[in-house]
Amino acid sequence: MRIPAVLLTVALVGVTPATAVVAGSPSAIGVAADTGTQQTCDFESLYDETIRSVVTIQVRTDGGGGLGSGFVYDESGRIVTNQHVVADAETVEVQFDRGQWRTAEVVGTDAYSDLAVLEVDDVPDYADPLAVESGHPETGQRVAALGSPLGLQGTITDGIVSGTNRSLPAGQEGGPQFTIPNTLQTTAAISPGNSGGPLVDCTGTVVGVNTAGAQGGENIGFAVPSTRVERVVPALIQNGSYTHSFLGISSRDVSPAVAEQAGLNVTSGVLVQQVISGSPADGAIQSGDVVLQVAGQPVASQEDLASALVRYRPGDTISMQILRDGERRTVEVTLGERPAPGETLGD
């Protein structure tokens, strides 16, 4: 599902007001068996065991500043947060759960996943790293969001994973716009200031990084999934950046109405509207093609296509099943490197 940008606010609270339009077992600490066959979170224990690893982030920029959240990622004093929390930061200060302040260095950022890594010296010994889930959470799974909404340090809100594979509009107001694919939707309240804080399951394992809430909607928030954290954060630590794959098309979903208008014999898939000259798709894919599969994975929508492509890196060659002139055929495309936001191919 593609989320309308007008409905979203970045979960970052400004020091001066500012908003922007916009990645276990029953013995575990937060799990308690109920009287039925399912289990429920023991949120009191979950909070006690995880909040010590959650931080408040204060950022100063030329335009003022803002507050966000983050969590301790490893034993080397690295902290994960959102890219939009530290974008254009001149100074970054981190406050731990018991009040200690540390100056942080920005190690790496990635706009396309809205992830960033900070590093601080002398992390308090009580602030242990949080484990990061390597798999995908299930829709309906209980979760909790931790952070500092509206600057209220040490806050927990509870809910469930209410959806997956959401395409989240991102980018600075008045600047280049893009989408973050395959994000999580949750009913756990995510408010300004929650940005960068962890979304955890009942064992205290991070399943997402909170990034945005919905204006005018109740119980709708979004988080970058832990699978993206697993891929992107190590590269940010090592290189300071992450390269994303790039296909080079503009497209729209195929619906019955689109299929009738375009004379197609399928009612799902992704209709290619334009192929960017010089892009990886140029020469392999044509305007009017319908993408049906990527590497054997069915593609019913632009969200499916984006979720499939995000698993690959620049230089990877993928097979794609397309519909062209009423016939299905397979083409191979070697993916390129996605230009930075606002840049065009060849800049």
Q: Which residue has the tokens 């109740």?
A: 218
**Which are the contacts of 263, defined by CB distance < 8 A and separation ≥ 6?**
none
pLDDT for position 212? 84
* Burial label, 44 (beta-carbon count in 10 A; 0-12, 13-18, 19+): exposed
Helices (H) and strands (E) in the chain, counts: 5, 24
169 pLDDT band (50/70/90 cuts)?
confident
- pTM to 2 decimal places: 0.86
Report the amino acid identity of residue 319: S
Inform me whether the pLDDT recorded for 347 exceeds 50: no
Q: For 316-330, what is each residue's pLDDT tens digit?
A: 999 999 999 999 999
Cα angle at 308 between 330 and 261, to 5 degrees?
A: 65
Q: For 248-273, what is each residue's pLDDT tens digit?
A: 999 999 999 999 999 999 999 999 99
Angstrom distance (rounded) from CA 311 to CA 18: 34
Q: Which residue has the tokens 């200031």?
A: 193
pLDDT for position 340? 86
Q: For 4-56, what is each residue's pLDDT tens digit?
A: 443 455 555 544 333 333 333 333 456 554 433 345 789 999 999 999 999 99
pLDDT for position 37? 33
pLDDT for position 65? 87
Which active-site residues does the annotation give? 84, 114, 195
pLDDT for position 238? 97
What is the full DSSP assignment across 34-85?
-SSSSEEE-HHHHHHHHGGGEEEEEEEETTEEEEEEEEE-STTSEEEE-HHH
Q: For 198-219, what is each residue's pLDDT tens digit?
A: 999 999 999 999 998 877 667 8
Q: For 92-147, what is each residue's pLDDT tens digit?
A: 999 999 999 999 999 999 999 999 999 999 999 999 999 999 998 999 999 999 99
pLDDT for position 31? 56
pLDDT for position 29? 59
pLDDT for position 150? 92
